[in-house]
Amino acid sequence: MRLYLLRHGQTHANVSGALDTAHPGLELTDLGQQQARAAARELDGAGIDAIAVSTLTRTSQTARPLADVSGLTPTVHDGLREISAGDFEMCSDQVSVHAFLETIGAWLDGDLDRVMPGGETGTGFLARYDEAIAEICTGNPASALVVSHGAAIRTWVTHRATGEHAPVHEGLHNTGCVTLDGSPEDGWVIVSWQREPIGGARLDDVTAPDPTGDEL
């Protein structure tokens, strides 16, 4: 099957640089809404027959335009939520952001037992994300859209997919999209890695701090 992993549109936390990972999370900005509409136009006609979102508000808002035009009802999966910032929740100072990203960087490099202070381990994160993806694939859709989060998508893809586009520390901006082919049983291969908004680079806000979307 084909799996589109779409990062949500821009939120107010992305603009301020805050580590917003807890439920329900901040909503999309006006630009984020534009990005969501543009992503829907880009993905409409791609043959998507299932849409999945996390429990955080911004993913449902991002999926809504495509859900409206396709008639599909998104399913909600807690396992697709962003990596918990733990003790750094809603922090935007350089020390906290660095510590958050340093922990994720360690996971990307294979140290999955490392604990996010006040949060989860890399092993725990992968387990919950694996479970969500397996649930999405249960209905055997030919093509599914998963609207999730920057750090979560990059960490899961790094550990669960192969291919010449394998990113490790590559960035994923708001409504950037990673496309995979495969299955939970056979594994996943990266087809493409679009770091800029799928609706066009003109929708990219290069001035926003966006700590979960830049290179790790």
Q: What is the DSSP letter of 111?
A: -
Mean of the per-residue pLDDT values of the chain: 95
Q: How confident is the model at residue 63 (pLDDT cuts 50, 70, 90)?
A: very high
* Residue whose entry in the numeric block shows the structure tokens 């990673």: 178
Q: How confident is the model at residue 166 (pLDDT cuts 50, 70, 90)?
A: low
pLDDT above 90: percentage of residues in the chain:
90
How many whole angstroms separate alpha carbon 163 and alpha carbon 37?
29
The answer, yes or no, to whether residue 178 has pLDDT greater than 70, is yes
Q: How confident is the model at residue 214 (pLDDT cuts 50, 70, 90)?
A: confident
Tell me the pLDDT tens digit for each residue of 4-56: 999 999 999 999 999 999 999 999 999 999 999 999 999 999 999 999 999 99
Average pLDDT over residues 182-201: 94
Residue 173 backbone zone (phi > 0: left; psi -120 to 50: alpha; other: beta): beta
Going edge to edge, which strands form the sheet with 50-53?
75-76, 50-53, 143-148, 2-7, 177-183, 187-194, 161-162
How many whole angstroms separate alpha carbon 143 and alpha carbon 82?
22
Per-residue pLDDT, 170: 77
Average pLDDT over residues 77-90: 98
Q: How confident is the model at residue 213 (pLDDT cuts 50, 70, 90)?
A: confident
Q: Which domains does the chain have, with CATH numbers?
A: 2-140+150-203 (3.40.50.1240)
Under 8 Å between Cβ of 8 and 175: yes
